[in-house]
Amino acid sequence: MESQRGTLLISCLDRPGIIAGVSTLLYNNGCNIIESDQDTDRDDGQFFWRIYFESMNHPIAHLRTILAAELPRVLQDLSLRWQLFDDRDRERIVIMVSKLPHCMIDLLSRHHLGELGGDVVAVISNHPDLEPLVKPFEVPFYTIPVEKDRKHQAEAKLLDTLNQLNCTLVVLARYMQILTGDFLRAWGKPIINIHHSFLPAFVGAHPYRQAYERGVKLVGATAHYVTEELDAGPIIAQATTPVTHRDTVKDIARKGKDIEVSVLAKAVRAHLLKRVLVHRNRTIVFE
């Protein structure tokens, strides 16, 4: 057979012999490790391991069966959790936006260049404004308006659309609505948001205005997983850029856009490459 590639993520209690056990198991089943990154949480001793490998004897699907049988034996009594991803199972990304195009266009451009490591299957917005900019990228555009007092209806339609698209990752690329806890629980899959501040500073609405009023000398951008508590989910990537007393709120917004774009792209790419593991509201990002 032609070799296939996959990513194995392991999380368990730490103990001597894990690496020897798992790497021998992989070797004995014809797998060659290409990348290996590990981390141990100093506070609770939890061990995390990402293995990117080439399987030379078995299709990844078959290897899944082997690992399901063997891993719990090799790592018994260690509260093992593991996931195996087949390189050919590309994630299906839905980008959600309101009226600001910069993050959306950037992600579509990277998709167009084949850089993302996943497929953008749709753009969904609560406004029709950005549709013309999406067209040349040949990605479908859906408008799901969110009317006052009818948010649940909009979210029901959104959930339906995401499911029909077989979406596996939602990216909020400056989507100006807060998703309800009900929606998040019903959806149950990862959502990455870009917040235009250096979290935990300036949570909530108008972070650039808040930054201006506090008189900071840097503004930030934070990509994080969405959880029920607003802007409090695990942080994947952050960056800052300098501002001065000369900058109005509008200037700050203009300067901030560049880092919103690059921080969001960095986080989405890391997620798609299975480089991000979540532990106790923090992320391990194997770069």
Instruction: Indicate whether 206 belongs to the interface with a copy of itself (CB under 8 A).
Output: no
Instruction: Select from 69, 136, 164, 185 the one that contacts a copy of itself (CB under 8 A).
Output: 136
Active site (annotated) includes residue 231? yes
Instruction: Indicate whether 26 belongs to the interface with a copy of itself (CB under 8 A).
Output: yes
Amino acid sitting at position 68: A
Whether the CB-CB separation of 3 and 54 falls below 8 Å is answered with yes
Binders of a copy of itself: how many residues, by CB under 8 A? 67
Instruction: Select from 88, 150, 152, 217 the one that contacts a copy of itself (CB under 8 A).
Output: 217
Q: Between 152 and 217, whose beta carbon lies closer to a copy of itself?
A: 217
Whether the CB-CB separation of 22 and 88 falls below 8 Å is answered with no
Q: What CA–CA distance (Å, rounded) separates 233 from 283?
A: 10
Q: What CA–CA distance (Å, rounded) separates 256 from 109?
A: 19
Residue list 247-286, contact with a copy of itself (CB under 8 A): 248, 254, 258, 261-262, 265, 281-285
Instruction: Indicate whether 235 belongs to the interface with a copy of itself (CB under 8 A).
Output: yes
From the centroid of its chain, how far is CA 37?
Answer: 18
Instruction: Select from 45, 72, 128, 132 the one that contacts a copy of itself (CB under 8 A).
Output: 132
Which one of the spans 60-68, 139-147, 152-160, 241-249 is the region binding a copy of itself (CB under 8 A)? 241-249
Q: What CA–CA distance (Å, rounded) separates 152 from 183?
A: 8
Q: What CA–CA distance (Å, rounded) separates 7 from 83?
A: 8
Q: What CA–CA distance (Å, rounded) separates 244 from 7?
A: 44
Q: Between 146 and 277, whose beta carbon lies closer to a copy of itself?
A: 277
Token digits of residue 49: 């391991």
Token digits of residue 267: 């986080």
Instruction: Select from 101, 142, 156, 157 the one that contacts a copy of itself (CB under 8 A).
Output: 101
Nearest to 264 by CA among 241, 282, 284, 237: 237
Whether the CB-CB separation of 237 and 270 falls below 8 Å is answered with yes
Q: What CA–CA distance (Å, rounded) separates 255 from 249?
A: 10
Instruction: Select from 73, 148, 185, 246 the one that contacts a copy of itself (CB under 8 A).
Output: 246
Which one of the spans 100-108, 142-150, 163-171, 185-193 is the region binding a copy of itself (CB under 8 A)? 100-108
- Given the residues 86, 87, 231, 258, select the one marked as catalytic: 231
Q: What CA–CA distance (Å, rounded) separates 169 from 91?
A: 7
Q: Quote the crossing angle between the two packed helices 102-112 and 249-272, to the nearest 10°.
A: 30
Least spacing, CB of residue 152 vs a copy of itself, in Å: 31
Instruction: Indicate whether 240 belongs to the interface with a copy of itself (CB under 8 A).
Output: yes
Token digits of residue 122: 């749709």
Instruction: Indicate whether 73 belongs to the interface with a copy of itself (CB under 8 A).
Output: no
Instruction: Indicate whether 135 belongs to the interface with a copy of itself (CB under 8 A).
Output: yes
Instruction: Indicate whether 202 belongs to the interface with a copy of itself (CB under 8 A).
Output: yes
Neighbours of 255 (CB within 10 A): 16
Which residues contact a copy of itself by CB under 8 A? Answer: 16-17, 19-20, 23-24, 26-28, 30-40, 42, 56, 101-102, 105, 109, 112-113, 115, 132-133, 135-137, 198-202, 214-218, 220, 234-240, 244-246, 248, 254, 258, 261-262, 265, 281-285, 287
Active site residues: 231
